[in-house]
Amino acid sequence: MTHASWWRGAVIYEIYPRSFSDSDGDGVGDLQGIIDRLDYVASLGVDAIWIAPFFKSPMADFGYDVSDYRDVDPMFGTMADFERLLAKAHRLGLKVIIDHVLSHTSSEHAWFRESRASRDNPKADWYVWADPRPDGTPPNNWLSIFGGVAWKWEPRRGQYYLHNFLSSQPDLNFHNAEVRAAVLDNLRFWLDKGIDGLRLDAVNFCFHDRELRSNPPKPREARTTRGFSADNPYAYQYHHFDKTQPQNLAFLSELRALLDRYPGTAALGEVSSEDSLATIAEYTSGQRLHMAYSFELLSDDATAAHLRATVETLERQLGDGWACWAFSNHDVHRVVTRWGGPQPLPQMASQLLALLCSLRGSVCIYQGEELGLPEAELPFDALRDPYGIAFWPNFKGRDGCRTPMPWNDGAHGGFSSVAPWLPLAKEHRDLCVSRQESGPDSTLNNFRSFLRWRREHPVLVSGAIRFLDVPEPVVAFVRGEGADRMLAAFNLSSHRVELELAELAPYRQIASAGVFQGELQGQHLSLPPHAVVFAAV
């Protein structure tokens, strides 16, 4: 890979600052805590870090409600702390991607305070405002992801404003050229500091339908619940008009033009649309985003068929675009619990990390995934996530994947000297970093070994992908073409699988690091529970 294309096939480590490491003893992680742990991150063999929002914020949505895009929230430290973090990461060979919220701000942002004051101030049109219908109700049927209507009444203006998320997260009006220019200027501020990339939150939410047309209803059989509660009415609509508008394409081209003025930088978009895979293909084609990910593999569907269908569907549409894959992040239950249930086999975590890092595309690894952490079980009175509190008990929100990183097996897991903002999960102590460091076959050391091995086989980073017709629960594919081909096969189940396949005959098994290995002999593949086989021609 050239310097400019470092992001192709990169392994990106997501850091959720509140829960990574607390350096000042207030129970909340901070930038200095990240600095203190960067040597550990670099030791994993990842290429980049993605840091979730650390901007000034009232923290209603834990940093995804920004009140000042050009300042560090005192909870996390200072701008000088960030600059030291950036410098140390670069010394360690790590790229730095920061999380940027494009579509909305906090209701405490100066832009919104001015906009809501009247209908004729300089920023009156910077947010999505609408008059009520004749009966006083909201202008249409749009809904918030966090539950209820997506409109909130503002008496100062006698109008409703749009909020696709919390009511304290008003949506910006991207149809206004001044808004787009201001947003890009905020990005320029951080690019000037020397960051290597941007993770763009909810990137397809920027524009709304100017006519404010209501969304059509979605029949029960078509409703999906990826990333939110099964009883959330948000799933009851086709979201044709409140997001993923065609005008966004031109804006993404503007954004790309900005990034192109900073060689070696990249943009990673988060996409959640009615057809997220098609949107990813569209958003990463030509001169738009460098890469994007969606929630298809962040779902509860652990079948080989779903994984194959997801990857193949995107590959058919992708063209010159580029995917980024993830099995876990700060918004969903951790994958070993989602896919493995309450008692996953120990080798499952290492297998899933190897599978993820063998797909064609870039990869996001969420902090603690390299330890095989399961989802933490929290009582209602410990919840902090407004999403989980609103939908309890059917949906417990996102706190279970956001509990503190377990660095050691002490009282607070080495995360903090005091009780942390979310309780340390008891089930995480046995999986802490200090214990796994000394275990040669731990998930942590397996992950390190696998990434070292992956670097020796560049076909896993940049080669084409072609799936083989094998029965459930095995997923098998070939990376690369011609003489440079590698076969990868994964048994996703907790029982042994034996299969015969003529296409296996040209391949010879090669020793792979960091995984529980099965055996390939001629046309016969033998895979114990959660075993992996790599083979080359």
- Is residue 166 within 8 A of residue 61, CB to CB? The reply is yes
Q: Which residue has the tokens 């696998």?
A: 450
Active site residue 399: no
Omega of the bond leading into 393 within 30 degrees of 0 (cis): yes
The contacts of residue 340 (CB under 8 Å, 6+ apart) are: 302, 348, 374
* Token pair 């249930």 in the structure block, residue: 341
- At residue 316, φ and ψ (nearest 5 deg) are -65, -30
Q: Which residues pair with 445 in a beta bridge?
A: none
Judge if the upstream peptide bond of residue 440 is cis by omega within 30 degrees of 0: no
CA distance 420 to 412: 7
Instruction: Assess contact for 444 and 433: CB atoms under 8 A.
Output: yes
SS3 at position 474: strand
In sign, the C-alpha dihedral spanning 229, 235, 236, 239 is positive
CA within 13 Å, CB half, 142: 27
Choice among 22, 73, 154, 201 that is catalytic: 201
Please tell me which residue in 30, 73, 270, 315 is annotated as part of the active site: 270
Helix (H) or strand (E) holding 258: helix 247-260
Token pair belonging to 26: 């207030």
Classified as helix, coil or strand, 109 is: coil
- DSSP 8-state secondary structure symbol assigned to residue 399: G
Strand partners, 201: 101
Number of H helices, E strands in the chain: 14, 21
What is the C-alpha separation between 447 and 429, in angstroms, rounded?
19
Report yes or no: 83 and 98 within 8 Å, Cβ to Cβ: no
Q: What are phi and psi of 80, to 5 degrees?
A: -60, -35
The residue count for the chain: 537
Nearest to 267 by CA among 279, 276, 259, 275: 259
Q: Is the dihedral of CA 452, 454, 457, 458 positive or negative?
A: negative
Whether 30 sits among the annotated catalytic residues: the reply is: no
Q: Is 133 exposed, middle or buried (0-12, 13-18, 19+ CB in 10 A)?
A: exposed
For residues 58 and 64, what is the distance between their CA atoms, to the nearest angstrom? 10
Sign of CA pseudo-dihedral 261, 266, 270, 275: positive
**Residues ≥6 apart with Cβ < 8 Å to 4:** 263, 264
Catalytic residues: 201, 270
